[in-house]
Amino acid sequence: MSKRSRIRKILISEELDNNDMEEKAKKKKLVALPEQEIFSDDICFEIISMIDDSWFILKNCVLISKQFFNVIKERSKLVIKFKKKFTGYRIKLFMNSRFMSSIVDVKFSEMLFNSEETPKFINEMTKMKQLTSLDISYNLIYAEGAKSISEMKQLTSLDIGGNRIYDKGAKFISELKQLKSLNIYNDWIGIDGIKPISEMKQLTSLDIGRNHIGDEVAKFISDMKQLTSLTVNNNRIGVEGAKFISEMKQLKSLGINNNQIYAEGAKFISEMKQLTSLDISDNQIYAEGAKFIITIVLVMKEPSS
């Protein structure tokens, strides 16, 4: 047997199998990976880049050859979504994976953690220095979880909605000065929490829907001149708040449904001719307000030159 065609036994751990993670982690499997390189590393990477299913890559592509294994480990940027309940054992397997440095985007389904395991996992996750996007919405991590996440200074996108982080947690999140996109929907945040959030001048997208937000908070938000997307649905914003928001001439997308802006507030919003997306439903604007809004809708429908 020639040197080029020799087969090396490589120990592959399948601990990242999303369907049966714990069972497969209990036993290791020897897989024969050929040493011979048919393609260059660049071509291997191009092949991998055409696959948009990270779990498929981890379960199958890493087994093609030692070369593919190394290319995936060293070059791939993986997006992982977890759907099964996390236990202490699964947390340990996840954090010990050899592909941790390849994961840049993590999404968790709702309510994956119990109260005992949540702090442990959040603390471990802060070690993922390459992670830039995190969706951990509706997992009840509270303010303490927000404090741990605030240590992940490399994050540029964060969805932490539905976690009851309160004002205290919002203050921790406001320390993430590199964030571009932030979702804190339904986090039980009031004016004391929104004020430090409004000072995050690097944000371009913000969702603060279903919090304790009124006109005074809208005034703080209106100072965020860098925002291009704003969602303030399901709050207590009135006419004055609508006036403040209408001054945000850089906004392209606005969600302000289910507030109390009425027809007078709709008139202010109708002055935002730069909008390309608007949700103003459930605001009791009636026919009078609709007359104002129709003008901006017509502008949206105009073909771009």
The whole-angstrom separation of Cα 130 and Cα 111 is 24
Give, rounded to a whole angstrom, the gap between the first and last alpha carbons of the chain: 67
Question: Which pLDDT score is estimated for 278?
Answer: 97
Question: Which pLDDT score is estimated for 58?
Answer: 87
Helix/strand/coil for 301: helix
The whole-angstrom separation of Cα 256 and Cα 176 is 25
Question: Which pLDDT score is estimated for 101?
Answer: 84
Question: Which pLDDT score is estimated for 304?
Answer: 59
> For residue 115, what are its two tokens?
């109260």
C-beta of residue 53 within 8 angstroms of C-beta of residue 3: no
State the angle between helix axes of 142-149 and 166-173 in degrees (0 to 180), rounded to the nearest 10.
0
The whole-angstrom separation of Cα 185 and Cα 189 is 9
Question: Which pLDDT score is estimated for 255?
Answer: 98
Q: Can you give the length of the chain in residues?
A: 305
Question: Which pLDDT score is estimated for 95?
Answer: 77
Helices (H), 53-173: 54-59, 66-75, 88-95, 118-125, 142-149, 166-173
Q: Give the CB-side neighbour count of residue 17, counting CA atoms within 13 A.
A: 16
Tell me which residue of 173, 80, 187, 83 sits closest to 128, measured CA to CA: 80
Query: Residue-wise pLDDT tens for the chain (305 aa)?
Result: 443 333 222 233 333 444 444 444 444 444 555 556 778 999 999 999 999 888 899 889 999 999 999 999 999 999 988 887 777 777 777 778 888 888 999 998 888 876 666 777 788 888 888 999 999 999 989 999 999 999 999 999 999 999 999 999 999 999 999 999 999 999 999 999 999 999 999 999 999 999 989 999 999 999 999 999 999 999 999 999 999 999 999 999 999 999 999 999 999 999 999 999 999 999 999 999 999 999 888 777 666 55
C-beta of residue 10 within 8 angstroms of C-beta of residue 69: yes
Question: Which pLDDT score is estimated for 15?
Answer: 36
Question: Which pLDDT score is estimated for 28?
Answer: 42
C-beta of residue 129 within 8 angstroms of C-beta of residue 151: no
C-beta of residue 184 within 8 angstroms of C-beta of residue 162: no
The whole-angstrom separation of Cα 251 and Cα 233 is 15
Residue with tokens 């440095």: 101
